[in-house]
Structure 1
Amino acid sequence: MSSTAVPRRRLLCGFLSATALLAAGCGQPGVVAKPPARSAEAPLALVYNGPQGCADCGPSVADLLRRAPQHYRVEYVGPGTGKPLTAAVLAEAQLYVQPGGGQDLDRTWRDLDESADAVRDWVRNGGSYLGLCFGGYLAGRDPGFGLLPGDAHGYAGTPGATVPDERDTVIEVNWRGKPRHMYFQDGPAFRLDEGSGATVLATYPDGAAAVVVAPYGKGRVGVSGPHPEADASWYDEEGLTNPDGVQPDLAYELIQATVSR
């Protein structure tokens, strides 16, 4: 698979049939990420924007964070951004976002594996990880950061799924007991360990967990299979309509749940 940027509709989550990713977790020896810094400034959110074949996935999340009620300051991290994803960089942030996007999964994980221990340490010590679609897969295991009390798996095409394949679509979820519609493209569902303490914000029609917030040490991990951050341009590009209208409230609720203690 090529890492050349192509239309977002094919790359929001990558192709999860690729299973040749290497498990990793080799951070810098002796470096332990500190809890997120607190100050009178707007909180800092780091958004991964390294090579992943989707030029607008990171910026879409950044836009959302700047408009969120918390009014985040946003900085991009990852190869090519001028800011590596290290313990020192994470120590200044409240939130780290792994967005959708990523056609070449081997390449993406190679770019992330040296930061895996730093990310785990930072979340364990009080940081907040937000993973959207592809970032939700990466919160799981093999490959992934291993931040979930359970694991992520592909939803489309599974028994009982309302989405048969990886095409872009609008999916109905049950969000805290109410039907809502969200943008979806080959996103994950989440299997959770019994007694994990995780909160399921939304489920797919078959009852599988679609949006989850879970503790990890002193920190929190928020993951979503569908795309709460999708704005009107995403729907227009694919000729899709959201019956609820395109609203950011689900994204804001997920962000708040992820950073709350």
Structure 2
Amino acid sequence: MRSSLRWPPSLIAKWFFLLVLFVGVVSTSLLCTSDACASELHRTSGVLGEGTSWSIPWYSIESDEDGPTVLVTGGMHGNEPAGSAAAGQIRHWNIARGKLVVIPSLNRLGLDAEMRWFPVHRNDRSLRDLNRNFPKLENLQPRTLLCETVWEFVESERPDFVFDLHEGFDFPTSNSKSVGSSVIFSPSDEQHHLAQKMLDAVNETVDDDTRRFVPLSRNGAAQGSLVRACADVLGVRSFILETTFKEQPLSFRTFQHRVMVSTALKEIGLLDSDSTDRMTSSLEHHRLSVGLFDAAGTTAKGLKNVSQSFDSEEFELVRIGPHDLSASTLSQFDVLIFPGGSGSRQGRAIGSDGREAIRKFVKDGGGVIGICAGAYLCSAHYDWSLHIINTSVFNETIEIPGVGRKSMWYRGGPSDVEMELTSEGEEIFSQSNRLDVRYQNGPIMDVGPDDHLPEWTPLAWFRSEVVRYEPQEGTMIDSPAIIAAPFGNGRVMCISPHPEATPGLENIITEAVKWSAQRDGSHTASEPDSQLEEASTSPAQE
């Protein structure tokens, strides 16, 4: 790999424009390692509106082999995160020819605020929607500084195709007021052909006919939208690709966006092979790639809490779902996190093939972290468990006088409990010995039934407990709160409470990732200390 600076001819002509708007451009040249392409790729990145509150990163991949220029954009509306997430993943693709330009977060401030509008103009009805303020045939001047900056960049790149990634609130097959799950374009034979290719591919991911993707080409994109401006003013073949956020996890919606874009780029010649499964960069070795499971059995709040723990450039966090649980896809990640929610629902969503893929991932050196429900999932207790750490859990069903039969895993709503780190836990997490941590029905763990699995090491103990029913008394206190163990060449950590939801303890999750990825510099879990014997011989809490 070598580094160089390469200025495309079209940018040399706009030297002053570059100095003002694209400060800090970084360019990297590399030899493409994908079997799909043998030409040299030149990766460039920069920032639009450098120095403004709304500055927008962009990325470019250019091949030495001639081909079309394609622009992919996302995050126009801040309440539509799938397009931004997908574009952020697409920027890592290796193209075979031509040029791919990606702007993942056009409305970065809106995405941060989870607001549809551009926050700077949120009180101005005429300016707040970015996608109504690009040029129109009757008025070629963009109506905001952000739109003007983006438009000048688009003009300078002169794309042959534009794909703008969006989301709708419902499925158009059942709600005509929504444009979700659709491909929007201006009618022409050529555009209809490409749209149909994308529709055919993405509908292969749909099991429910009421959620099928449809073409919307009668009126094309809205006046003032980026796609309509590119089509009418620049004569560019342009498409809006819409997924639907109703009752569908983010991981699945980004997957559907990648399916459509990969299909289109193969059809027009930028790609020689499908790139749908590519989500991270093998080039950024200094960053830890973390896959956060996002499907049935997870909660929006739990996913948000985990995600907010990763606000450092040290990590690349990607939402993944059952469709991503293949060996080739998992190989892009250092660590997988299974968050709170329902362990049984996560286990059923993963399925037997997914469980085997995860087990192989860890055996080959990957890391897995289970938080609360995810710790149930990692255990050796249930048939739907991953069986990657030898734990059983206290879940007996007991007859409670005057109440009925109740399962002992349930201890009520969220509350704070006291947790004491072991010496090894203190070393890994860089936290003080005794901590108050949020707890909500995480597993009460003990040694499991599988003697073939390695022994685990306690990293923290519960020193207080939550009790709802009398038989639970004494079962939580002095039981392990966090444990860790090797599995093959990899590492597993189970966390019963919720440090990610406890102010001041969020770094426990990021330090757990470093340890699981074997980037912490400490001894491995296969080197137990005296505490392991204590955990292995502690009496069952049931």
Normalised by the shorter chain, which TM-score bucket?
A: 0.5 to 0.7
CA distance in 2, matches of 1:125, 1:187: 28
Amino acid at match of 2:356: D
Larger fraction in helix: 2
CA distance in 2, matches of 1:90, 1:131: 16
Asked if the contact 2:327/2:357 (under 8 Å) is kept, the reply is yes
Is 1:176 aligned with 2:176? no
Give the TM-score normalised by structure 2: 0.34
CA distance in 1, matches of 2:487, 2:373: 19
Amino acid at match of 2:364: N
Is 1:218 aligned with 2:493? no
Residue in structure 1 matching 2:314, options 67, 71, 74: 71
CA distance in 1, matches of 2:484, 2:388: 11
The match for 1:149 is 390
- 3-state DSSP of counterpart to 2:444: strand
Is 1:135 aligned with 2:374? yes
The match for 2:325 is 85
Q: Which runs of 5+ in 2 are unaligned?
A: 1-245, 248-281, 399-408, 424-432, 464-476, 519-523, 525-542
The match for 1:209 is 480
Is 1:117 aligned with 2:356? yes
- 3-state DSSP of counterpart to 1:212: strand
Q: Deviations over 1:68-94 (max 9, x none)?
A: xx7210111115xxx522211111100
Is 1:95 aligned with 2:353? no
Question: Displacement of 1:125 after TM fit?
Answer: 1.0
CA distance in 1, matches of 2:491, 2:418: 26
Q: Deviations over 1:30-77 (max 9, x none)?
A: xxxxxxx7852412100001123622322321221343xx72101111
CA distance in 1, matches of 2:320, 2:459: 28
Give the TM-score normalised by structure 1: 0.68
CA distance in 1, matches of 2:420, 2:479: 10
- 3-state DSSP of counterpart to 1:188: coil
Q: Which runs of 5+ in 1 are unaligned?
A: 6-36, 158-162, 233-245
Asked if the contact 1:66/1:73 (under 8 Å) is kept, the reply is no
CA distance in 2, matches of 1:252, 1:258: 10
Question: Displacement of 1:200 after TM fit?
Answer: 0.9
Taking a change above 3 Å as real, the CA distance of residues 38 and 97 of structure 1, as seen in their structure-2 partners, is: farther
The match for 2:444 is 189
Q: CA RMSD in A?
A: 2.9
CA distance in 2, matches of 1:222, 1:251: 10
Residue in structure 1 matching 2:499, options 223, 228, 241: 228
The match for 2:346 is 108
The match for 2:54 is none
Taking a change above 3 Å as real, the CA distance of residues 154 and 202 of structure 1, as seen in their structure-2 partners, is: farther
- Equivalent positions of 1:150-165 (< 5 A) are 150-154=391-395, 165=411
Asked if the contact 2:366/2:516 (under 8 Å) is kept, the reply is no
Residue correspondences, number: 201
Amino acid at match of 2:445: F
Taking a change above 3 Å as real, the CA distance of residues 189 and 253 of structure 1, as seen in their structure-2 partners, is: farther
CA distance in 2, matches of 1:84, 1:40: 21
Q: Deviations over 1:181-236 (max 9, x none)?
A: 1100000122136994422110112321110111101100011100111155xxxx
Q: Deviations over 1:117-138 (max 9, x none)?
A: 0000110110000000000000
The percent of aligned pairs where both chains have the same amino acid is: 21
Taking a change above 3 Å as real, the CA distance of residues 38 and 181 of structure 1, as seen in their structure-2 partners, is: farther
Q: Deviations over 1:13-45 (max 9, x none)?
A: xxxxxxxxxxxxxxxxxxxxxxxx785241210
The match for 2:104 is none
Greater relative CO (CA pairs within 8 A, separation 6+)? 1
- Equivalent positions of 1:9-88 (< 5 A) are 40-52=285-297, 54-67=299-312, 71-79=314-322, 84-88=324-328
Instruction: Return the index of the structure with the highest Cα Rg.
Output: 2
